[in-house]
Amino acid sequence: MKKQAPLKPEIPPQPQPQRSGAQCVIDGLVKAGCEVLFGYPGGTVLDIFNCLYDAPFKFVLTRHEQGAVHMADGYARATGKPGCCLVTSGPGATNTITGLATANMDGIPLVCITGQVALHLIGTDAFQEADIMGITRSVTKHNFLVRDVNELPDILAKAFYIATTGKPGPVLIDIPKNIQRALTSVPTKDPKRVEMRAYRPDVKVAKADIANLADLLNKAERPLLYAGGGIISGTASAVLTELARKANIPVCTTMMALGAFPENDPLSLGMVGMHGTAAANYAIDKSDLLISAGARFDDRVTGKIDEFASKAITVHIDIDPSAIGKNVSTHFGINGYLAPVLKALLPLVKRVKHEAWFQQVQEWKKKFPLGYPQPDGVLMPQTVIKMIDKLSKGQAVITTDVGQNQMWSTQFFTYTKPRNFISSGGLGTMGFGLPACIGAQLGREKELVVCITGDGGIQMNFQELVVAVEHQLPIVVVILNNGFLGMVRQWQELFYSKRYSGVMLSQHGRRPNEEIADKPVYLPDFVKLAEAHGATAYRVTTEKEVEAALHEAFKRKKTTVIECIVSPEANVYPMIPPGTHVSSMIGHTKN
């Protein structure tokens, strides 16, 4: 006889466990793979900080919200993963603007969470209320205001999805305090499984377009690859290198793409643009086919726009359709992800030598190498950077500030790997170098990370040095102290008859209207300041001392600051004055 199955008691549907909005934030970050969160607390994010207490990832308390965003940015640039930061409403949120704009211009994936006053208080000028949605709309890729806790898990997943796909960028989520405290049973969502009706970053490239491009390339006599930051964010560096080598195409890179193509390769022409190499700029001017891959024809690259690459058919490959035809009317645009486009192109391209063209670019390289005058008894800033290159064997991850220190860093260090040069390109943000260095080191713990900065830039976020010391990060901060805001001074020297207005950090030679008590001559004392923050510090004035200090710093693996007293009026050359053609280049012949 068949045994009758025992009757199952009716199980009522189990209610999903309820959790707070604040907990949703932590769970969403974990799901998105967050390893480190940078931030600063405040009244409207207390609930999230309460949940953060038990979070499985690292939290880094910065000393200013701007530092938090730059750190998340440096982390993202160094690792390719989205950076995460968390700040409070009002001033906490407004302090993130420069960081968000920096990331937005350079297409860096970030998710920034801001607290907001409770929904019913929005618009009442409540304490620490700011319309951060309105304020950040133009400096983020997208932003969200959460109005219902049940939408929060979805919004968190969407934020990471939007930040990391298409042309990456920063996404801000504004979460009112009452939403953080409200309960929901909606489960955590996976950012990899997001579907959005209005946002579809997966573009398909027509095979015919690739074939046309291959045809152009196979027919060209003087082809040139012009690689931009998209090569790095689109992980297309390897295939770009393969393509260049297969068809013997010279490669120049923008600043954002330094390291996308190994600079020790004979095909590398280095950086293009205002302070790029003569070879790269001449090659652009003379080429008959210019292929821009993930670059955006920035004005610092093109100079006088209607004479830029005037002999070339220009091709523009970019994931951002609005970049195509924005600054330069290109002959042929391809909207798509770089890696698959270049991969599809590779087999269609013939192995060609382009012998005459190759010889021509080699000749330029030989005739116009990057150089600088080396007077006796003065430490040149370029020498310091060459020494970092030499002692780190070109393997250090370099972060910079903006201006002369940045340009010399592009010129005198040999970049051979992507994600080893980290700098604010589009926005040109002073104060970026140190926090970005901290973020990069946290993302790449085993590697040597060096911040090259100036005496101006370092003072914009010096307070973050404490974070490096607290977390025992072996970063090395190299301050090129020339007593000036160097790049502005250089422009005043060249274009404003040496009228040095508002650029003197040292008191030597100040105009009467800028004079203050005549002693001390230079403030602050960077060595004492660094020591007060708990770091080791050296002041060096000769090449020998630079070498010894760097050697020591690289060996000791502790937070170190090296202040290099360098030539006060050294200039960055070559230089194509703004808005002019390559033929106006100055300082490229023997210095």
Partner 1 sequence: MKHIINCLVENQPGVLARIVGLISGRGYNIDTLNVGPTADSTVSKMTIVVPGDAKIIDQVTKQLSKQVDVIEVVELTNRRHLERELILVRVGVADNTQRAEVLDLASSFNATVIDIQKDSISLQMASNQGAVTEFLRLLQPHHIIDLSRSGVIAVGRECV
The residue (of 228 and 443) whose beta carbon lies closer to partner 1 is: 228
Kindly name the residue from 255, 387, 430, 487 that is annotated as catalytic.
Answer: 487
- In the beta sheet, which residues pair with residue 586? 575
Give me the helices (H) in 40-189, please: 46-52, 65-79, 91-94, 97-106, 132-136, 152-164, 177-181
The residue (of 330 and 404) whose beta carbon lies closer to partner 1 is: 330
| Lookup: tokens for 455 | 């005496």
| Catalytic status, residue 492 | no
DSSP codes, 410-471: HHSS---STTSEE---SS--TT-HHHHHHHHHHHSTTS-EEEEEETTGGGGSGGGHHHHHHT
Rounded to a whole number of angstroms, the minimum distance from the CB of residue 508 to partner 1 is 42
Rounded to a whole number of angstroms, the minimum distance from the CB of residue 124 to partner 1 is 17
Kindly name the residue from 158, 177, 365, 386 that is annotated as catalytic.
Answer: 177
| Catalytic status, residue 387 | no
The residue (of 158 and 539) whose beta carbon lies closer to partner 1 is: 158
| Catalytic status, residue 575 | no
Amino acid at 188: T
Residues 6+ apart with CB under 8 A from 320: 107, 166, 167, 296, 335
In degrees rounded to 5, what are phi and psi of residue 435?
A: -60, -35
Rounded to a whole number of angstroms, the minimum distance from the CB of residue 148 to partner 1 is 12
Question: Where on the chain is the footprint of partner 1 (CB under 8 A)?
Answer: 133-134, 137-138, 141-142, 145, 147, 162, 196-199, 320-322, 324-326, 329
The CB density around residue 488, as the number of other CB atoms within 10 Å, is 17
| Lookup: tokens for 462 | 């010096």
| Lookup: tokens for 246 | 């297969």
Q: Which of 99, 91, 85 has its CA nearest to residue 132?
A: 91
Task: Report the Cα 309 to chain-centroid distance in Å.
Answer: 27
Rounded to a whole number of angstroms, the minimum distance from the CB of residue 174 to partner 1 is 11
Cα distances (Å, whole numbers) of residue 482 to 245, 305, 503, 549, 584: 41, 33, 11, 18, 27
Rounded to a whole number of angstroms, the minimum distance from the CB of residue 325 to partner 1 is 6
The residue (of 35 and 320) whose beta carbon lies closer to partner 1 is: 320
Rounded to a whole number of angstroms, the minimum distance from the CB of residue 94 to partner 1 is 17
- Give the separation between CA 516 and CA 295, rounded to whole angstroms: 45
The residue (of 233 and 420) whose beta carbon lies closer to partner 1 is: 233
Kindly name the residue from 18, 58, 127, 544 that is annotated as catalytic.
Answer: 127
Residues 6+ apart with CB under 8 A from 297: 305, 308, 316, 326, 327, 328
Q: Which of 36, 97, 26 has its CA nearest to residue 65?
A: 97
Rounded to a whole number of angstroms, the minimum distance from the CB of residue 154 to partner 1 is 13
**HEC assignment per residue over 168-233:** CCEEEEEEEHHHHHCEECCCCCCHHHCCCCCCCCCCCCCHHHHHHHHHHHHHCCCEEEEECHHHHH
The residue (of 203 and 238) whose beta carbon lies closer to partner 1 is: 203
| Catalytic status, residue 128 | yes
Rounded to a whole number of angstroms, the minimum distance from the CB of residue 230 to partner 1 is 15
Kindly name the residue from 128, 362, 463, 507 that is annotated as catalytic.
Answer: 128
Kindly name the residue from 31, 38, 49, 65 that is annotated as catalytic.
Answer: 65
| Catalytic status, residue 472 | no
The residue (of 95 and 143) whose beta carbon lies closer to partner 1 is: 143
The residue (of 326 and 444) whose beta carbon lies closer to partner 1 is: 326
Task: Give the DSSP H or E segment for 563.
Answer: strand 560-565
Residues 6+ apart with CB under 8 A from 75: 36, 38, 81, 83, 439, 440, 442, 443
Q: Three-state DSSP class for 495? A: helix
Which are the catalytic amino acids? 65, 127-128, 177, 487
